[in-house]
Amino acid sequence: MGHGVSCARTGDEHDFFRAAQLGDLDALAALLAADGSLARRVTLYDRLSPLHIAAANGHLEALSMFLDRGAQPDAVDRHKQTPLMLAAMHGKIGCVLKLLQAGANILMFDSVHARTCLHHAAYYGHVDCLDAILCAAQTTSVADSWGFARFVNVRDDHGATPLHLAARQGRPECLQVLLENGAIVSALTGSYGFPGSTSLHLAARRGSLDCIRKLLAWGADRLQRDSAGRIPFSVALKRKHGACAALLNPTSAEPMVWPSPLKFISELDPEAKALLEAALMEVNREREKKILKDTKYAMSSPSHYDDNIDDDAFSEVSDTELCCICFDQACTIEVQDCGHQMCAPCTLALCCHHKPNPTTLSLPSPACPFCRGGISRLVVAQSRTDGDLDKPASPQLAPRRSRRSHNLSDGSSSSFKGLSSAISKIARGSSRMAGGDSGEMDKPEHDP
């Protein structure tokens, strides 16, 4: 637990803490029946309360009993750590939920590194606890007093945000949750890691391919320098993380970027979001294969994409209608409010053709390529029956035709040449090349 359990000051207190450690409800009930104030007045010499012990050990019933008897959910030990912090450290989600329900303060900082419960959940990789704390932050006074975005990006006394800690510890699932909730991917640390590091620097230092994939797909800048002038590529090289360095090399093709700053993306229904995320992973997986091909790292970096992608969502083409941009895959995404439809890869290319600025998040929302109307929302396209084939759901949908027979000079499709060209380039894994000599960026590292 990280807390030494000292002897209590009286026999009853000793028995009480022993029962709390073991989660012995019968013994606790008997002791509380004899002295109902034990739960709220007794602490160990290092200021551990029964609530701390129950939270760290995951004894939910004992925790509930203490709270019912008046124990304070925000009691602090000698490190100013609360029961909620200990529950988040140890991944005791039941205790986390119970403490949040009891009104535990999520804005308290410990005295070790001035970290909150959110920092601790991210550091130790407990995604369910992270989710619960973020959900509480949206529904409590945090949103009014601090603002939700400020809480997600709260810093410890070394200038590290929860995203920095998750990247340094190699926690890709926590990265995903934090990024989806507004964590700033380009934020710099203070003295944590190496001064001026981004989450990408820290993931490179850790050698976590999964974290690097996540951060790059959310717009992390491979050319951002820390205070010593090093880019993440240089950090990965120095640490001998070859596969990571290959992906971070500025001369390698950039990954496609999830358009998180665009407002309509946050309004996606879950099925549409899953289709677009799968398309993003598929494109980036193909690019990664090209980057790592014929290198000794190709077999050392198995991709998690393979297990999570439903190939039917991409490769199985409808017998009735094709995307009129690429003429290769079935329409799976529908634009609201105009009703036009595209396949998921083409929709993704439309949204991600220009990389969002992670600092300003000022990228304008894209327009529908068919009617140039604004996109208010993206939803999964509804399947149509054979009886509906003579009545396309949107003007651009036509009976299936081969790519070769399609006349690109047709007025209805000539306006898509530029987008089709861009998508073809994406499919081939091409990308703009970063300028500059990478050798100049590999400066000496002086780690503390």
Give pLDDT tens digits for 272-307: 888 888 888 888 888 888 888 756 655 444 444 444
Same domain for 237 and 355, yes or no, is no
Question: Does 221 sit behind a cis peptide bond, omega within 30 degrees of 0 on the bond before it?
Answer: no
- Give yes or no: residues 216 and 279 share one domain: no
**2 falls within a domain:** no
Q: What is the pLDDT of residue 15?
A: 63
Q: Are residues 377 and 300 in the same domain?
A: yes
Looking at residue 393, its pLDDT comes to 43
- The helix/strand/coil state of 41 is helix
Strand ranges (E), 85-211: none
Half-sphere exposure of 101 (CA within 13 A, CB side): 11
Is 418's pLDDT higher than 50? no
Check which CATH number belongs to the domain holding 31 and give it. Answer: 1.25.40.20
* Chain mean pLDDT for the chain: 75
Whether 368 is covered by a domain: the verdict is: yes
Q: Are residues 198 and 226 in the same domain?
A: yes
Q: What is the C-alpha separation between 161 and 188, in angstroms, rounded?
A: 9
Domain presence at residue 430: no
Orientation angle between helical segments 50-57 and 60-68, nearest 10 degrees: 150
Q: Do 270 and 234 fall into the same domain?
A: no
Residue corresponding to tokens 């129950």: 54
The yes-or-no verdict on residue 122 having pLDDT over 50 is yes
Clarify whether residues 163 and 131 are in a common domain: yes
Q: Which residue has the higher pLDDT, 349 or 371?
A: 371
pLDDT in tens, 323-352: 888 888 888 888 887 889 998 888 888 877
Q: What percent of the chain has pLDDT over 90?
A: 35
Tally of structural domains, the chain: 2
How does pLDDT run across 372-402, given as a tens digit for each residue?
887 778 888 876 544 444 444 444 433 333 3
Beta strand ranges found along 208-365 (DSSP E): 333-336, 341-342
Average pLDDT estimate for 169-179: 96
pLDDT digits (tens, 9 = 90+) for 206-218: 999 999 999 999 8
Residue 445: inside a domain, yes or no?
no
**Which of 361, 226, 249 has its CA nearest to residue 295?**
249
Type of residue numbered 361 = L
**151 plus 194 within the same structural domain:** yes
Domain assignment of residue 446, yes or no: no
Residue 287 shares a structural domain with residue 180: no
Closest by Cα among 296, 313, 255 to 429: 255
Q: Residue 82 has what pLDDT?
A: 95
Rounded to whole angstroms, the Cα distance separating 88 from 445 reads 34
The set of residues, in sequence order, having a beta carbon less than 8 Å from that of 143 and lying 6+ positions away, is 137
User: So what's the pLDDT on residue 23?
Assistant: 59
* 73 and 131 co-located in one domain: yes
**1 in a domain, yes or no?**
no
Task: Give Cβ neighbours of residue 102 (< 8 Å, ≥ 6 apart).
Answer: 67, 73
More confident call, 309 vs 131: 131
286 inside domain: yes
Distance of alpha carbon 180 from alpha carbon 130, whole angstroms: 12
319 exposed, middle or buried (CB, 10 Å; 0-12, 13-18, 19+)?
exposed
142 vs 427, residue with greater confidence: 142
Q: Is residue 444 part of a domain?
A: no
In a shared domain, residues 237 and 270:
no
Asked if 228 and 112 sit in the same domain, the reply is yes
The domain in which residue 296 lies consists of: 263-402+410-422
Final residue of a structural domain among 188, 213, 248: 248
Residues 214 and 318 in one domain: no
Distance of CA 396 to the CA centre of its chain: 35
Of 266 and 166, more confident? 166
pLDDT tens digits for 33-89?
A: 555 555 554 554 446 777 888 898 888 988 888 888 778 899 888 889 999 999 999
Q: Is pLDDT above 90 for 95?
A: yes
| Percent of residues in the chain assigned helix, strand, coil, to nearest 5 | 45, 5, 50
> Scanning the structure block, which residue is given the tokens 């359990």?
5
